[in-house]
Each structure stands twice: as C-alpha cells, then as structure tokens.
Amino acid sequence: DNSKLYCLGSGQQHLNEPLLDHREGQLFLTEAFKVILEEVLCKGTDVNEKVCEWREPEELATLLDLELREYGEQQYQLLQRVRDVAKYSVKTNHPRFFNQLFAGVDYHALTGRFLTEALNTSQYTYEVAPVFVLMEDEVLSKLRSLVGWAQGDGIFCPGGTMSNMYAMNLARYRAFPEVKLKGQWALPRLAVFTSQESHYSVMKAAAFQGIGTENVFKVNVDDRGCMMTDDLSEKIELAKSQGAVPFLVHATSGTTVQGAFDPLEPIADICDRQGLWMHVDAAWGGSVLFSKEHRHLMRGVERWESGACSGIQLLECNFDLLKRCHSADATYLFQQDKFYDMSLDTGDKSIQCGRKVDCLKLWLMWKAVGSQGLEERVDRAFAHTRYLVEKMMKREGFQLIGKPEFVNVCFWFIPPSLRGKENSPDYQDRLSKVAPVIKERMIKQGTMMVGYQPLGGRVNFFRMIVISPQLSYQDMTFFLDEIERLGNNL
C-alpha cells in the first residue's frame, strides 16, 4: 500500500521503540530499485529514448518541486520524486552520450557501488573496514604491477584533482621535508612544470597548496598537444634564472581535450638530471596500461615517482612517503594498543579522515571480466576510434584537428555555407559559432550529447569521446549523420 503515510514515530513516548521500521524502509528501497532499473538502466540506455530531457532552469525547478518543508511526504510521492529525478537527469549511460570523459554502464561496477553505499563504512582502519583495507591493497598492488613496479604505495582519491594534489604535496615534502612543520613561507619560491594542455587541476592545486599559480610554468606543446621537452628544459632554466626552485614536472598521459600523451622517457631523463619529481597524470589515459597493443603510449611510465591513474582516480607513489607526509596520529582512531597489526590502519596516509570505499567497484568489475576483459575494452575503444576517424575523413564537412593518439576525436564541422570559404575574413568567427548552435539543438532535441571548446588559437571544435563499452558501429554512423542533420543549414 504505497499511499500509506510513512510514519516515523511521533515523539518522546516512542523512545522505547526503534524510530524507523526496517520492513517499510526495505519495501521503499525495493520499489525505488525497480524505478532505477526501469528509468535509468532500461530507458536510460535505449537508443530510442532521449539522452536528456531539456528544461529551462525555472521550469525544471517547478517540475521537481525542490522546496524542503516542515513535514514529510507520503511514500508514493517520494517514489514519484525518484522517478522525476531520473527522468530529468542526463542519461550518462546512454550510447549517445559522448559529452564527458566517462560514459556507459558496467553492471558489476554498479553492483559494487550499491554494495559500498549499503555497507556505509570508511576506509580508515582494519577494525571498521577489514574487507576493504585488504581489497584496496590488492587492487593497488595489481595496478603497480601494470606500471612495472614490484612495490610502492598508493591510495584511492576522490577524483583526479585530489590525486594530483597528493602528488604535489609529496613532491614538495621530498624536496623540503620541513614544509610540513614550517609551511611554504619558510621555503624558497618553488616551480612546477606542466604542459599548456594539461588539466586545469594543476593550477587549482598550486593555488590551494600555497605554491601559487604564477609558479606553474606552462611548457609548449606540439600540434598533437604533447609536451615539447626542449621547451621543458628551457622553462626549467627560466625558472631558475628567476630564483625559483624547480621540484616537480607534472606530465600528462591523455590530455583532456586532445588525448595527447607526453613523452615520458625524455621527461624522465630531464627529471633525473635535475633531481625533479616526475608525476604522471594518467587520470584519463592510464587505461592504455591494460593493453599490450597500446601501452607504448606510456613508455617510460615505470620511471614516474607518482601517478594519478585512469578513471579509478588513485595515486600511486614509489616512495614510502604517504604516511610520513600526511600523518597526524589521531589517537582516537589509530590507537597504538590494538590487538591486530596496526600497519593495516591506513587512514593516516590520506588527508581525509573519513574516506569512502572506492576499491570495491573496480575489484568486482575486474573479477568479472579479468585483465583480459579490461584489455579488450581498451582495444575496442581504440578500434572504434579508428573506425570513426576513417568514416569522418570520407565525409565532406568534417575536418579533424589532428590524428587522434587516444579516444578523443577532435574536429570541426564545416557547414555547406562555409565550405571553400577558408580565406574569407570572417571564416574563423563564423566557424566558432557553429558548434554552440549544433550543441544547443542536440540538447534541446535530446538526440545526443558531445562537448566542444576552443583551444589555443583554434576556435570552437567538437571533442567526441569514444569510451563506452556499449558502443557499436551504428552509434558512430548515427553520430556523423546527426551532426550533419543538426548543422547542415548553418
């Protein structure tokens, strides 16, 4: 009986009874699970359904009735809210969602996430997370073996930005261990080096961690977006000449827009000569390590001091620095008189106190498909990318920014009215307006989602991401047809 009032007790007289009825709660959760299956996972992955159900913000706020009030609602109303949230949310699991650096659904990973949420624990001690302390260790050590390390240390982080921040802190701590106690004011001006096309989190980290954004030296890139090592050497000399002390090169494996891989071997050579920490931000490209065919893109990876790894967002570090650098020795959590091996209480390695369990989703997916299955997914994404690029090159109006190294396909769509007009003075200006209009049309019609941006001297171009394990050739063809349909009259 869904319309029954959901009663949460009515005050002090019931203190002797549990506040919440588990049976009713579980009933609600079960009904909501059916809605999630239907709306998010069935309809949300059906090519015949929309990727998004666009509404103007004012209209959406009204439809959702967001206001929080004095009294609670009935079960059937709450279930309708679950349905509405699903309906008006973007379907990132949809085969025509190419908008971000994530897409598609893995049911084993999702199972791991549901189980993580239901168990609701924190990763800090063996006492409260015995399974996950051991599991995190296994996943990290397996990933280290992909990198080519027999040992090291690591931690899962809430996102690639945090991984990069951990690395910046570790690198600074290795160079100047007194920074933990005294702070940056007692240090000389420091200098970080990263490519012009690296992720913006380097700038955020420099600001947040007291290093300063003007102390991030941006190294020139080639046409593909890869760091130019000659310029890296020059920028290091430039920083020194300004009195700054270089301590960290933040290289990228898989840049955000072009998917470029910085040349790790020559960068590592420079870092060796100069005594700098080499961090590799592989938050996007690190999955190539699973593939025998494509791991050459990260040749030299075993020489990194730390790395932020693909999708799973973690920090690997080849020194035993995490704990020394981050510990605060809270006695209420890390008691020294426990009855088990206290080295299993890994919580003092992290800057967070409570830390969500992030390893289970990856572990269960890996158990389900094996290293071989993960490799196949990576190879498949590359194969789809090649297919798309080939088709694109045969179609009039599609102009690639460059040959993709990874699964980012960057291109301009040149509508018929602009073809052959490359030399007219307003060409660039008119071209820059094409992608935003096509984007608006696709979102309002809900047929697909793909991102665009300017980059350096290039005006707005599309960045198509080929990553979902559920993609087929048909989806590639659809994509090209749909860009034409939406943009041909521009």
* Cβ(264)–Cβ(253) below 8 Å: yes
Which residues does 166 contact at the CB level (< 8 Å), separation at least 6?
155, 157, 306, 315, 317, 322, 351
Which residues share a beta bridge with 191? 246
Task: Look at the block and give the residue holding tokens 């993580």.
Answer: 116
199 vs 254: CA distance, rounded Å: 10
The only residue of 4, 76, 213, 273 in contact with a second copy, by rule CB under 8 A:
213
Question: Which residues, numbered 165-194, are part of the site for a second copy (CB under 8 A)?
Answer: 165, 169, 172, 179-190
Report in angstroms how near the CB of residue 134 gets to a second copy at its nearest.
5
Q: Is 293 in the site for a second copy (CB under 8 A)?
A: no
Question: Which residues, numbered 453-472, are part of the site for a second copy (CB under 8 A)?
Answer: 453-455, 460, 463, 469-472
Residue among 235 and 355 whose Cβ is closer to a second copy:
355
The only residue of 299, 370, 395, 481 in contact with a second copy, by rule CB under 8 A:
370
Q: Is 331 in the site for a second copy (CB under 8 A)?
A: yes
279 vs 164: CA distance, rounded Å: 8
Q: Is 360 in the site for a second copy (CB under 8 A)?
A: yes
Residue among 55 and 485 whose Cβ is closer to a second copy:
55
The only residue of 4, 29, 237, 299 in contact with a second copy, by rule CB under 8 A:
29
Question: Which residues, numbered 80-109, are part of the site for a second copy (CB under 8 A)?
Answer: 81-82, 85-86, 88-93, 95, 99-100, 102, 104-108
The only residue of 208, 403, 424, 429 in contact with a second copy, by rule CB under 8 A:
208
The only residue of 235, 294, 303, 377 in contact with a second copy, by rule CB under 8 A:
377
* Cβ(297)–Cβ(285) below 8 Å: yes
471 vs 5: CA distance, rounded Å: 44
The only residue of 237, 265, 296, 371 in contact with a second copy, by rule CB under 8 A:
371
Residue among 229 and 306 whose Cβ is closer to a second copy:
306
Q: Is 309 in the site for a second copy (CB under 8 A)?
A: no
207 vs 439: CA distance, rounded Å: 33
Q: C-alpha angle with apex 327: 136 to 154, nearest 5 degrees?
A: 30
The only residue of 4, 76, 119, 293 in contact with a second copy, by rule CB under 8 A:
119
Whether the CA torsion 331, 332, 335, 341 is positive or negative: it is: negative
Tokens read off for 18: 């549990």
Residue among 162 and 297 whose Cβ is closer to a second copy:
162
Report in angstroms how near the CB of residue 272 gets to a second copy at its nearest.
26
The only residue of 55, 224, 391, 485 in contact with a second copy, by rule CB under 8 A:
55
192 vs 190: CA distance, rounded Å: 7
204 vs 405: CA distance, rounded Å: 27
Specify the 3-state DSSP secondary structure of 490.
Answer: coil
